[in-house]
Structure formats: structure tokens, C-alpha cells
Amino acid sequence: MAQIKEIQAIMQELRLSATGKVLPKLIQDANTNEVTYGDFILAVMKHEQQARAAKARIRRLNWATLPYQRSLDEFDLSLQAALNQKQMNELRTLNWVDQSYHLILLGPTGVGKTFLSIGLCVEAINKGYSAIFITMGDLIKALKTETISRQSQVRLKRLYKADLIVLDDLMFMALDRQEANLFFHFVNRLYEQTSFIITSNKSPDQWGNVIGDEVITGAILDRMVQKSQVIELVGESYRVTHRQTIFKKP
């Protein structure tokens, strides 16, 4: 017992605390199954590896600032004619993230744009990518207060390091010239470095009406649309179709 405690103390010092906590069980299992020294060491290393991976996933999930969590398995393709199972499977591979492609999800309110983007964000996190969800309003606020707000600085620092950014409700609100410039510089900084999932109820050819500056709009479109897949979601509002009621159904 003294020997185990000494090993646990060393493991704690070497930052192998997750495995140190279960060391007695690992030793007991090794003795019961009469495993080789190599197999025992491998079991110890695998346990620590899995513990660190789980911890890292939780950290990435916290940093993602998702409004809620949903899995792609919950997305009902039967209600969405714009996507088939083969296309969904291709999106789930996330090969397009490795190639810095963008996904532009268009459609009216309630057809599942945000649902699908969150599902892809969670999928990316589960596969080890750094993914962050942010609304257009929150992004503009962070960009405008970067020099005076520590919180904005931390948030933007994480965004600049992300593999995937979900930008929700793009062009939902009109931008003044300063905000448009800030947004352009944000997009330009991440050009060819980060993938975006953009949700919007306005098609790219309407973005100029919201930005109000043809030159800036053209520059943003040039960087966003060059390597992108546009998916126009259709159908009835998912929220209305799956609305909840306070009364029991007869």
C-alpha cells in the first residue's frame, strides 16, 4: 500500500493524476488477468490518454458558447428536402473544415439553420476541432469593445485560434461603416485559415443592402463565397411543427 501511495504521489507530480486515482484498480486488474509488464504500462498510458481527451473535449465544449447542445442524429432529414443522407454524411466527415471551406445555410426563420450548425459544431468538437458559436450581434459587440474589454479580448483570441466558427444570424441587423470595416478585417484575418458556418435569412446578393457599402460587401463576399457550399433550407418552421403545449394531448 505504501508503494502505491508513493507511485500516486509521483504520478501527481508528473501530472498523471487522472490515472493515479485509479491506479489500485489497474494494478488489481493486471494481477487478476496476469498481463505482461508491457500490457500493464500500455493500459496505464491509454487510461491517461482517454482521461485527457475527455477533459479537453469538455474544455472545447465550454469555449464553444453554444446556446444549446444538439446532435446531428436529432436533425430530421425527412423534414428537409434541401439535404439528403449522403450529403449529411459528407458534412459529418468535416473534410471541408480541413480545407478551410465555408458552409452557408440560408432560409427563413425556423427551418433548422441554427440547429444544423450547432450539430456540426458539436460533431467538430467531438472529433478534436476547436469550434465556437457566436451570433453576428455578439461578434460586432466584441470587435467594437476589444480595446476596452478584457472579456472581448479573450473571446476574440479564441475565435482567431478556432478551426471552425459558427456565425449565426449574419446580416440580421444593418451595419454602419465602422462595424462593416471591423467585420471585414475579422474575416480577412481568418481568410484561408478558419472555416465558417454562416446562417442567414438573406442570400449573399442581398448582403450589400445590410452593409451599405459596395466595396466592403464585395471584399467580404470574395473571401466568403470563393470556397463555400450554399445550402438553402426549406420547409415549415421546426419550432412550430415541434411546439410544446401546457395541455395534455387527448
Q: Where are the domains of the chain?
A: 2-63, 72-241
In sign, the C-alpha dihedral spanning 182, 156, 98, 70 is negative
Mean pLDDT across 82-102: 91
Kind plus residue range of the DSSP H or E element containing 55: helix 37-63
Mean pLDDT across 213-221: 83
Mean pLDDT across 69-94: 88
Of 135 and 110, the one with more pLDDT: 135
| Closest listed residue to residue 197, CA positions, set 167, 227, 160 | 167
Question: What is the rounded average pLDDT for all residues in the chain?
Answer: 86
187-197 pLDDT tens trace: 999 998 999 99
Per-residue confidence (pLDDT) for residue 215, from 0 to 100: 85
Q: 3-class DSSP state for residue 84?
A: coil
Q: Tell me how far CA of residue 15 lies from CA of 10, 20, 40, 86, 241, in angstroms.
A: 9, 9, 19, 43, 50
3-45 pLDDT tens trace: 888 887 887 877 777 788 888 888 888 888 888 888 888 888 8
CATH number of the domain located at residue range(s) 72-241 in this protein: 3.40.50.300
Residue entry with cell 504520478: 11
235-248 pLDDT tens trace: 665 554 555 555 56
